[in-house]
Amino acid sequence: MTLTSGDKRFQNGAQDYAAYLETPEGRLRTDLAFANLRDFLPSPQANIPLHALDVGCGTGAAALLLAGLGFHVTLLDSSQAMLDIAKRSAEQAGVTNRVTLRNDDALRLTNLFDAASFDIVLCHDILEYVEDPTSVLRQAARALRDTSAILSIVVRNQAGEVFKAAIQAGDLAVAAADLSAEWGHESLYGGRVRLFTATDRQDLLDAASLTLVAERGIRVVADYLPANVSRTAEYARILELESKLGSRPEYAAVARYTHCLARSRENAA
């Protein structure tokens, strides 16, 4: 993750974040995002390696899945603690030869990487925390290589916060306030987290000269299932249902997270 100024949540909470990704909620977020992304991966070409950049990679869960498919991945994060976990995970997965770790800030992408360097750029669960999400996305778009390159963005959906407050917490006052809220509460670490409406997302894409090619919802109903439904025993069925719901706009609109897949406008097919 790349942090706002003075924000040490991800510096001090790397182990908590890694543990969260092992929960059914964390696994769903990762698995659904990767399943969505696989539909848009560029086709491999003989003797030409494909390169991916994970901006604000955290513990590297998504990037390491790409490394497992043969991509050469660069993991960028301002938290060395997160990168340490990512390094150990890469070693355990046997993909260290395809992984590069960079300890730096997402707002410095232009200084760190040449333009048109990557076939895939991931911006998953980072724009909620950076000081200037528009700048980060513009710089990420600049790094896209060519017409097959894809930018994958996962952000917190404002509508999902409304449903969370009303259904999960039963707090109607908070649900009403969240109808116009720009910020929500980060339950894992505490502190604020930026919320995005459909208009916010489109404005970001426009500012970065990106064209949306697909939009999916992540965790539409899973967070609200009754206690008698085992998130562990029923994980496969929940994942299957969520995949179907997230691909339908009427359900994706109220998901906890929104997944946007985009290309540069000059590159968009």
Locate tokens 């406008």: which residue?
Answer: 265
Q: How far is CA 175 from CA 63, 155, 166, 178, 229, in A?
A: 34, 19, 5, 5, 25
Q: Is residue 4 part of a domain?
A: no
Q: Is residue 56 part of a domain?
A: yes
Q: How far is CA 105 from CA 97, 130, 135, in A?
A: 23, 10, 12
Q: Is residue 2 part of a domain?
A: no
> What are the percentages of helix, strand and coil residues in the chain, rounded to 5?
45, 20, 35
| Cβ–Cβ under 8 Å, residues 21 and 27 | yes
Helix (H, G, I), strand (E, B) or coil at 202: helix
Range of the domain at 195: 9-264
Q: What percent of the chain has pLDDT over 90?
A: 86
Q: Is the pLDDT of residue 247 over 80?
A: yes
Radius of gyration of the chain from its Cα atoms, rounded to whole angstroms: 18
Return d(Cα 97, Cα 71) in angstroms, integer. 10
Banded model confidence at residue 64, pLDDT cuts 50, 70, 90: very high
- Residues whose CB falls within 8 Å of the CB of residue 143, separated by 6 or more in sequence, listed in order: 53, 109, 113, 114, 115, 116, 117, 118, 121
Split into its structural domains, the chain has a count of 1
Q: Is residue 18 part of a domain?
A: yes
Q: Is residue 104 part of a domain?
A: yes
Banded model confidence at residue 2, pLDDT cuts 50, 70, 90: very low
Q: Helix crossing, 14-21 with 24-38: angle to 10°?
A: 70
**What digits encode the pLDDT tens for the residues 122-157?**
999 999 999 999 999 999 999 999 877 999 999 999
Give me 260's structure tokens.
């946007």
Q: Is residue 88 part of a domain?
A: yes
Return d(Cα 78, Cα 1) in angstroms, integer. 6
Q: Is residue 50 part of a domain?
A: yes
CATH number for the domain spanning 191: value is 3.40.50.150
Q: Is residue 143 part of a domain?
A: yes
Please state, rounded to an integer, the average pLDDT across all residues of the chain.
Answer: 93
